[in-house]
Amino acid sequence: MHLDIQHDARTRALRSADHLRSGPFVIRFDADWATPFANYAIPDDGAQPTAADIDALVLAFRDRERLPRLEYLPACAPQVEPALLAAGFVAENRAAVMACAAGSLRPPAPVPGLAVCEPADEAGLLAAATVQHHGYGQPGEPGAGETDWLRRTLSQGGLVALATGTDGRPVGAGVCSPPLDGLSELAGLAVAAEFRGRGAGAALSAWLTAAALERGRRTVWLEPADPDVERMYARIGYRTVGEKLNISLPR
C-alpha cells in the first residue's frame, strides 16, 4: 500500500501546473502560494541521488524563492534521506500514513448541531479556506492560492466539505483529492480552535471519507498531524500503513 500511496502523491505532483523534474525528483511548485506544504519534492522509487542531484534540487527551489523541502515515504527510497542529511537537510517530522477502505469506516456518533455541506459558490469556498487558514495558525486572511486550491479540487472531481454550527458559522473544513487509480487523499482538515474537542474533526473526516468511498474510491489515505489526531482517525476506521518524512534545508 505504501508504494500505491507514494505513486498517488507523485502522480498528482506531475499533474500540477508548475511541476518540474530535477534529476531523480519531481518538484511540485505553486506560483501563487508560498506555503511549504504546497511546494515540495518527491523522489523516484529507489532513487539514489548524488551530491550534484541534491545541489540541483536546492537550486530549483532557491530560483523560485521557495524553501527546499521534500515530503515522501522513505521506505520507497531508502537512500534519499542519508544524501539529504549529508547536504544539511533537517527532518521536520515523521508522520504516520493511514488508509481506510470501503467496509472499514466506522462513523462516529453525530455531533449535535453540526451540519456538513459541499460548498460550490465563491462565498462557500472562501469560508472553507478561511477555516483552514486560521485552523493551521496562519495570520491574516487566506490568499488567492488557498481558494484556488479548493476550486481546482472541485473542478477535477475532488471533494470540498464545510462544517457549520447551529448558528451557521463555519467551524471546520477539509478536502478529498480527485480520484487517481482508485485512491484519494484526505487533506486540509481543520477545525476552528473554539470548536476543537467536540467531535467535529472526527465527524467531518468520516463524512469526507464516506463520500469519497461512495463515489468510487477504493481507498482514502491521509497524514495525521500528531499522535492524538492519529488516534482519532484510528477510531473511525483508518489504519497505519507507512511513515512519511517531511524534511527541509534550513534557510
Domains of the chain in sequence order: 2-96 (3.40.630.30), 103-217 (3.40.630.30)
> What local confidence, expressed as pLDDT, does residue 101 receive?
94
> What local confidence, expressed as pLDDT, does residue 166 receive?
87
Structural contact between residues 137 and 143, judged by C-beta atoms closer than 8 angstroms: no
Please report, to the nearest 10 degrees, the dihedral formed by the alpha carbons of residues 209, 225, 154, 105 taken in order. Answer: 0
Residue indicated by cell numbers 518540474: 20
> What local confidence, expressed as pLDDT, does residue 12 receive?
87
> What local confidence, expressed as pLDDT, does residue 77 receive?
97
> What local confidence, expressed as pLDDT, does residue 31 receive?
87
Structural contact between residues 94 and 133, judged by C-beta atoms closer than 8 angstroms: no
> What local confidence, expressed as pLDDT, does residue 33 receive?
85
> What local confidence, expressed as pLDDT, does residue 92 receive?
95
**Number of CB atoms found within 10 A of residue 119's CB:** 19
pLDDT tens digits, the chain, 251 residues: what are they? 878 999 999 998 898 888 999 999 999 999 888 889 899 999 999 999 999 999 999 999 999 999 999 999 999 999 999 999 999 999 999 999 999 998 999 999 999 999 999 998 999 999 999 999 998 888 999 988 899 999 999 999 999 999 999 888 999 999 999 999 999 999 999 999 888 888 999 999 999 999 999 999 999 999 998 888 999 999 999 999 999 999 999 97
Structural contact between residues 217 and 182, judged by C-beta atoms closer than 8 angstroms: yes
Structural contact between residues 226 and 96, judged by C-beta atoms closer than 8 angstroms: no
Please report, to the nearest 10 degrees, the dihedral formed by the alpha carbons of residues 117, 121, 125, 127 taken in order. Answer: -80
> What local confidence, expressed as pLDDT, does residue 145 receive?
86
Closest CA to 128 of 168, 65, 171, 87: 171
